[in-house]
């Protein structure tokens, strides 16, 4: 009898392991600044769902079930959150805690810490341009959710670091930095369409790529940009070169990944996430 029970337990374990497919194992990091993978009810057409009013990325996992992949804002408190299906059904998921470290940065140019009124106006304009790019939601399926690294180089600054510039706390680090020398080529981590190119006060030369369904990459501080708005890029296409334009202490690549208009830890998408 005991042996039978043990066998049943084993088979139910392997069933649940089957239900959790490759994408869930790769992407389900439900912490503030992370990603929640949520199973959806079975139906012939892809379901639609929203989280905090933003439409969600929904894909078929292993040809067996629909999953929603939701970005969780960095300022979310651990606990229960909900996504909402098209028919109003609320599907809960739980957010676990994650600690983020602090980083102190010294800038010689105090304008980059506390900009004056004229620069603030420019910064506001640039911010709203980038905010609307992050709200893009196109119907295409991303070519790959296990992203290619945008550049060769070690990871230098992690996502979510609380940052102090000349002792003053500013926004936490919204992306992931790679150490790379000026001129190193940058590739798009997945296929996509170039939706914004700019030269900004904080980010310097910047490119936004829409991978589909609200999944967007942004790379910045480039020394040169090789693409234009409207370009359709194949996976691995060249975006430009590493530089130190904007608020940067030296050449490196800063990469943001946005999902449902939420900046999440890019390390998740290259299999380098550490809890
Ligand atoms: Zn950065």
Tens digits of residue pLDDT in 114-155: 888 989 999 999 999 999 999 999 999 999 999 999 999 999
What is the model's pLDDT at position 121? 94
**Separate counts of helices (H) and strands (E) for the chain:** 3, 20
Task: Count other C-beta atoms under 10 Å from residue 39's C-beta.
Answer: 16
Task: Say how many Å lie between the CA of residue 239 and the centre of ligand 1.
Answer: 17
**Which residues does residue 66 pair with via DSSP β-bridges, in sequence order?**
60
Has residue 241 got a pLDDT over 80?
yes
CB 128 within 8 A of CB 114: no
Has residue 12 got a pLDDT over 60?
no
Confidence category of residue 165, pLDDT binned at 50, 70, 90: confident
Task: Say how many Å lie between the CA of residue 22 and the centre of ligand 1.
Answer: 29
| 263 class by beta-carbon count within 10 Å (0-12 exposed, 13-18 middle, 19+ buried) | buried
Sign of CA dihedral 128, 131, 132, 133: positive
Has residue 4 got a pLDDT over 60?
no
Listed residue (161, 158, 157) closest to 101, CA to CA: 161
Has residue 65 got a pLDDT over 80?
yes
Rounded Cα gap, residues 229 and 192, in angstroms: 11
Q: Across the chain, what does the average pLDDT equal?
A: 92
Is beta strand 162-165 parallel, antiparallel or unpaired with respect to 102-105? parallel
Task: Say how many Å lie between the CA of residue 205 and the centre of ligand 1.
Answer: 13
Task: Say how many Å lie between the CA of residue 125 and the centre of ligand 1.
Answer: 21
**Domains assigned to the chain:** 2-95 (2.60.40.1590), 102-270 (2.70.70.10)
Task: Say how many Å lie between the CA of residue 53 and the centre of ligand 1.
Answer: 28
Mean pLDDT on 179-200? 98
Task: Say how many Å lie between the CA of residue 104 and the centre of ligand 1.
Answer: 13
CB 175 within 8 A of CB 257: yes
Task: Say how many Å lie between the CA of residue 175 and the centre of ligand 1.
Answer: 6
Task: Say how many Å lie between the CA of residue 185 and the centre of ligand 1.
Answer: 17
What is the model's pLDDT at position 20? 75
What is the model's pLDDT at position 275? 86
Cα dihedral 147, 193, 61, 260, rounded to 10, equals: 90
Task: Say how many Å lie between the CA of residue 18 and the centre of ligand 1.
Answer: 37
Has residue 13 got a pLDDT over 60?
no
Task: Say how many Å lie between the CA of residue 255 and the centre of ligand 1.
Answer: 7
What is the model's pLDDT at position 19? 59
Task: Assign residue 271 a region (left: φ > 0; alpha: ψ between -120 and 50; beta: otherwise).
Answer: left
Task: Say how many Å lie between the CA of residue 173 and the centre of ligand 1.
Answer: 6
């Amino acid at each position: 009898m005991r042996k039978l029970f043990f066998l049943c337990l084993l088979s139910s374990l392997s069933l649940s392991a089957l239900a959790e497919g490759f994408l869930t194992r790769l992407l389900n990091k439900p912490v503030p600044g992370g990603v929640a993978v949520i199973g959806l009810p079975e139906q012939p057409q892809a379901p639609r769902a929203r989280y905090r009013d933003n439409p969600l990325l929904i894909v078929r996992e292993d040809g067996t079930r629909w999953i929603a992949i939701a970005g969780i804002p960095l300022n979310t408190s651990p606990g229960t959150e909900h996504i909402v299906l098209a028919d109003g059904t609320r599907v809960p998921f739980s957010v676990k805690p994650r600690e983020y470290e602090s980083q102190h940065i010294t800038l010689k140019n105090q304008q980059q810490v506390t900009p004056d009124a004229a620069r603030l106006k420019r910064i506001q304009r640039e911010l709203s341009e980038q905010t609307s790019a992050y709200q893009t939601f196109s119907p295409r399926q991303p070519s790959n959710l296990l992203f290619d690294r945008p550049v060769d180089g070690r990871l230098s600054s992690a996502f979510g670091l609380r940052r102090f510039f000349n002792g003053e706390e500013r926004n936490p680090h919204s992306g992931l930095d790679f150490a790379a020398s000026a001129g190193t080529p940058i590739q798009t981590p997945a296929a996509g369409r170039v939706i914004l190119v700019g030269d900004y006060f904080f980010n310097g030369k910047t490119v936004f790529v829409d991978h589909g369904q609200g999944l967007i990459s942004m790379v910045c501080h480039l020394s040169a940009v090789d693409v234009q708005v409207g370009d359709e890029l194949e996976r691995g296409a060249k975006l430009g070169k590493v530089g130190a334009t904007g608020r940067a202490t030296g050449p490196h690549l800063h990469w943001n990944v946005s999902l449902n208009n939420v900046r999440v830890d890019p390390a998740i998408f290259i299999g380098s996430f550490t809890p």
